[in-house]
Structure 1
């Protein structure tokens, strides 16, 4: 132990998997690690009070930013908390977790100028009583808002010395808390907070901190900072490498290992007999006329008189104009190329007309307008399709669930319609449809039927989904523009909830609406590998004049 202490170990993380009972030995152990490098400690065994009282005064403990205690302990919480900790988890707390303990813990995180990503978790043992209602009553007296579900209650706090939002999640067995978002006006931008929280799937149980390094250059740099030197690399330590001292006999040069058929042909066995040179006729789809028509729509703005107070309500009025008033549906029994092309044309031009109701969008250059339109029209149509089907099911509860709306005024019965796929693929329609179909465990239509979003809410969902998706594809200046659009509409939805609906605690409802958008984007991401396989094996024989316009649409 003394020899190790002369040269302290430079590591960022220490995991102790045994129970600790001898304070002196534990202090000597921690003293072997460089306090300037050590940042994380996880103790899985049971820790006595004597041990904890000895370790919390060491320099190694004071410099930690990540502490996890999974064994039983009874030391007061605030005494355990290192001064600069970013993540603190206490998973088996034997003492009674009183409401005052929780309030003091939350106030410490709020008042000490906590960094973005700071996190704590205190979970009691099954034998320990935790008064959840009394805790919530005390927290609400200093909170800026809260939202309650069946499993937990989220209490939000405004941090006086920073622009962050602190959220404490109270369960029946404990409490969690984290600093989530850096926003300038927490009340007016609460909608933006909810959107980012749900879309990024940031939960209080799992938070990816700023100190996580995923790319190889970053990990290599951290190794250098921890003391790694290239001169210390040890080569030829593998006993199976081909050398004179190898345990594996050297194969003579003239001796050849028999090649497999896949190695001989030069392709994996799974596609061994696939002829990549087989001529395949492609169906050419020319959409230049749609680009020209959208250019005409954007180039001839129409003077309008709005009876709306903000951008979101003007877009909502535009949505009603685009949708129109459909009383009778036309049933289609065969989905041909013309029927699919008509659906593309309808949604592409409908989204173009809808965007003209957004004043800030009208101020963009024509090239930027067309780029955004080409990226968002198809994902906009997906959510609109689910919205129309949910309205139909809600208004006609006895109608078969196999009926679906393809576009405004057009309906098909999935059990009775025939899909003519000869223009799409050389494979039978049943096979190509089964391959490209990407089932999801989340029922988007069912969720919309249950939520019954208003026109303003549906407009916000369409805009948020479209701008979020397009921003990720475009990047650069276009992404900044679309993020600004989302900020403006987030302010508008906040005004709509608080002033028109008098709903000051709308956190839960907006979270459920954003989960719908999140499910749609997730399904698109999951379908991309299938489409790549379809291109490799020539399952789809379409060639577009503007292929970027149909990316993630299910046809390219």
Structure 2
């Protein structure tokens, strides 16, 4: 994500009069106010009176008054970025028009490969970029009452810039862009977690390169559910994948020619591209409608649990510590912010979605073993550990 640049002719946020960084929920606002409204739009603050009785003179008023000011200025959840990011239903004519050809994933022709029958995929540059992201830390400062809230605010910076494009076909370049997007975005998100930043650099990188695909799977399900909830589309076969790419699972074509010598109908079992698990979890997320804090907790829980189970040892200990910290923060969120001390039923529903994704990952493993046994895929990765449990 690019950093927000404030020019001499900047626009002021209509809520707090600080420099705005774009159109959020229908008005020009700063990212902080947009994140606040996203959390508070359907919260208890809409029915609460002023808490300070002096908010008219404050730049940042109390939460009830801040929410009221957002609404008075025209913020509405029905305006979820639709005025800012137009849904494009035109099929791009080239990858360059789509998102630009990925620069961090290098495909080598078979004639140049270490194997005459395989395409060599070099992801060293992508790993180097991910390492740099982790070492550099947060691109923009983010604050929060605790570490879960800080992670949620950081995640809000990504989702506030949703721009969906419709695609009818996917090939190796679009697939590589998905890898690049989810790996780097997961790494950026992790930089907002202070406790994670205390780990040695090599462990940070190892975890980021391991969890990106489970983090990304939940994230794309959540974005799909959000857009369907906003009535952007009603067809349950329409889903968001990768860099906010919208596809119809029943109609889109996946070009397997770079991946395998077998026809699509024979490798669908191994790739799982059109998995029914996606439908199930999206439908469940639509009914659940998690808040940004809840979704952030779900992303963290599925990521750190996966990392701990996969690596054991020092990473398992760190992952368990992270989950305990974030569980305590979630408890604080329910009890002190939402005033809902009885939240076990809702937490169980959140974990049910995560369990769906974890079940799918477990189902992929034996398929991947079969694919390797029968030499289904004609690709070879420079760092195969990055694609462990992804199906490739």
TM-score bracket, shorter-length normalisation: 0.5 to 0.7
Report the equivalent of 1:390: 225
Determine if the alignment matches structure 1 residue 314 to structure 2 residue 128. Answer: no
Q: SS state of the match for residue 491, structure 1? A: helix
- Verify: 1:380 aligned to 2:215, yes or no: yes
The aligned residue for residue 273 of structure 1 is none
Which residue of 121, 125, 142 corresponds with 1:285? 121
Within 5 Å, give how 1:265-280 maps onto structure 2. none
Q: Offset at 1:323?
A: 2.7
Give the alignment's Cα RMSD to 1 decimal: 1.9
In 2, Cα distance between the equivalents of 1:441 and 1:403?
11
**Residues 172 and 258 in structure 2, CA contact (< 8 A), matched pair in contact too:** yes
Determine whether 1:339 maps to 2:181.
Answer: no
Work out the CA distance in 2 between the residues paired with 1:423 and 1:506: 48
Counterparts of 1:388 and 1:548, CA distance in 2? 27
Distance 2:158 2:139 in 1: 16
Structure having greater relative contact order (Cα 8 Å, sep ≥ 6): 2
Deviations 1:147-186 (A, max 9, x none): xxxxxxxxxxxxxxxxxxxxxxxxxxxxxxxxxxxxxxxx
For the residues of structure 2 that align with 1:549 and 1:371, how far apart are their CA atoms? 9
Separation (CA, whole Å) in 2 of partners of 1:491 and 1:415: 42
Q: Using a 3 Å threshold, how does the CA distance of structure 1 residues 484 and 431 change in structure 2: closer, same or farther? A: same
Q: Distance in 1 between matches of 2:276 and 2:233?
A: 24
Unaligned regions of 5+ residues in structure 1, if any? 1-278
Equivalences for residues 78-97 of structure 1 within 5 A: none
Q: Does 1:523 align with 2:336?
A: no
Determine the C-alpha separation between the residues in 1 that align with 2:158 and 2:219: 11
Q: Is the 8 A contact 1:442 1:519 kept in 2?
A: no
Check if 1:465 corresponds to 2:302. Answer: yes
Match of 1:432 among 261, 267, 291: 267
Q: How many residues end up aligned between the 2 structures? A: 276
Whole-angstrom distance in 2 between the partners of 1:401 and 1:298: 36
Q: Secondary structure at the match of 2:336?
A: helix
SS of the aligned residue for 1:285 comes to strand
Is this contact kept in 2: 1:343–1:407, CA < 8 A?
A: yes
> Which structure shows the bigger proportion of residues in helix conformation?
2
Higher gyration radius (CA): 1
- Runs of 4+ off more than 6 Å: none
Structure 1 residues 482, 416: closer, same or farther in 2, change over 3 A? same
Is the contact between residue 280 and residue 541 of structure 1 (CA under 8 Å) also seen in structure 2? no
Question: Cα–Cα, structure 1 residues 306 and 415, in superposed 2: closer, same or farther, change >3 Å?
Answer: closer
Distance in 2 between residues matched to 1:307 and 1:353, nearest whole Å = 15
TM-score normalised by structure 1 residue count: 0.48
**Structure 1 residue 299 displacement after superposition:** 1.8
Q: Unaligned regions of 5+ residues in structure 2, if any?
A: 1-114
Evaluate the alpha carbon distance shift between residue 442 and residue 403 of structure 1 in structure 2; reply closer, same or farther with a 3 A threshold.
closer
Distance 1:514 1:416, change over 3 A: same
Candidates 353, 373, 378, aligned match of 2:188:
353
